[in-house]
């Protein structure tokens, strides 16, 4: 059976730029009397991030916003970004909206009912029989796991064109009166962005999705996620994430690869979600790479920040266009991401 191929990928960001040095200055001034916050400020300089993007102007963050306000911004901005990404991906693939047979949408930074895919059908004119799969709750793992779900649908629906969409507006979670470590770390890391990809089992050029898998680690439900509060979603981070990656990720990866008769040394490229600098350091050790080798991931983190599930798709787009997958010398690559649960998602690509 022909494996689904990644026919096109587009990445989009909202219009407002957040320069890291400016955000640090503003946080320093906003929480000037909070010793806890001042102690955490080095996270901005150590984040490996230079800039990010926001769906709202910087002044918005100085105001109080409840859950309803935040979600209203999420809905409109998410649809705008997804629409733009869809058009760009379709243009790259030489396809039309009416050619799309299935839509998979991943997002965990807001709530939409009707779902984002249904709203896009109404807004963009997809055919009314399009198969839809909205996915919520995967967090940062959603880029890899969503791509896997889209590829599975493409393999099942022979000849179908499947649209995979991911949008995360993580910066909306900032709250001006919260001096918790998680809020400050999120403020130093989070950005907004969206990606669109098209998959099909045909003769289109592009890498083939040949395998996928996932793993839910034991006793790690409190490692990462959202707390739902009256004023919106509040980030939950554990300082143990890099250690979990360092100590437990390799055995899970080896088990995944063994299902396809592979080992780590059968992979020659790595496309990981860059959750942060320390996570990338841990992954380079796990992948048996020299420090700094994951350049596509590090450059994506530097230029866009952590956009949760969307980030790994940005890394993949960069790798395919001028990065590690652009020169035709690779044979097999691993896309990986980790998210709430604590979970890991894998996708294997072949040239």
Mean pLDDT per 10-residue segment, the chain (351 residues): 89 96 89 78 89 96 91 97 98 96 97 96 95 95 96 92 97 84 86 97 89 92 83 80 88 95 96 93 94 96 96 97 89 94 94 89
CATH of domain 208-350: 3.40.47.10
Quote the pLDDT of residue 199: 97
Quote the pLDDT of residue 277: 92
Q: Quick one: fold of 5-200?
A: Peroxisomal Thiolase; Chain A, domain 1 (3.40.47)
What's the CA gap between 39 and 176, in Å, rounded? Answer: 17
Quote the pLDDT of residue 133: 97
Shared fold status for 5-200 and 208-350: yes
Quote the pLDDT of residue 3: 92
What's the CA gap between 341 and 226, in Å, rounded? Answer: 11
Q: Give phi and psi for 17, each to the nearest 5.
A: -95, 135
Quote the pLDDT of residue 185: 86
Instruction: Give domain limits for the chain.
Output: 5-200, 208-350
Active site residues: 140
Quote the pLDDT of residue 245: 87
Its pTM stands at 0.94
Cα first-last separation, the chain = 16
Give bridge partners of residue 193 from the DSSP assignment. 168
């Amino acid at each position: 059976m022909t494996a689904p191929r990644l026919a096109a990928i587009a990445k989009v960001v909202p219009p407002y730029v957040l320069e890291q040095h400016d955000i640090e200055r503003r946080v320093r001034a906003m929480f000037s009397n909070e010793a806890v916050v001042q102690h955490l400020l080095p996270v901005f300089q150590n984040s490996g991030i230079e800039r990010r993007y926001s769906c709202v102007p910087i002044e918005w963050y100085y105001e109080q916003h409840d859950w309803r306000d935040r979600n209203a911004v999420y809905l409109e901005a998410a649809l705008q970004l997804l629409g733009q990404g869809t058009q760009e991906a379709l243009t790259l693939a030489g396809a039309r909206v009416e050619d799309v047979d299935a839509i998979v949408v991943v997002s965990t930074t807001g709530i939409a009912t009707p779902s984002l895919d249904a709203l896009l059908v109404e807004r963009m004119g997809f055919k009314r029989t399009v198969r839809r799969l909205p996915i919520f709750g995967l967090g940062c793992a959603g880029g890899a796991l969503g791509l896997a779900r889209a590829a599975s649908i493409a393999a099942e629906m022979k000849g179908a064109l499947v649209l995979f969409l991911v949008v995360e507006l993580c910066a909306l979670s900032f709250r001006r009166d919260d001096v918790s470590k998680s809020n400050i770390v999120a403020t130093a890391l989070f950005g907004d962005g969206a990606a669109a990809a098209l998959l099909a089992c045909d003769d289109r050029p592009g890498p083939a999705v040949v395998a996928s898998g996932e793993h839910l680690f034991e006793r790690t439900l409190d490692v990462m996620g959202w707390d739902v509060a009256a004023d919106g979603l509040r980030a939950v981070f554990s300082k143990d994430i890099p250690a979990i990656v360092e100590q437990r990720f390799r055995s899970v990866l080896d088990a995944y690869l063994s299902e396809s008769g592979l080992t780590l040394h059968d992979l020659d490229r790595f496309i990981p979600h860059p959750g942060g600098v320390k996570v990338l350091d841990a992954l380079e050790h796990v992948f048996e790479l020299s420090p700094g080798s994951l350049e596509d991931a590090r450059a994506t983190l530097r230029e866009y920040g952590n956009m949760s599930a969307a980030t790994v798709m940005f890394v993949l787009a960069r790798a395919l266009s001028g990065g590690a997958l652009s020169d035709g010398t690779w044979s097999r690559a691993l896309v990986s991401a980790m998210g709430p649960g604590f979970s890991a998602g894998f996708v294997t690509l072949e040239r």
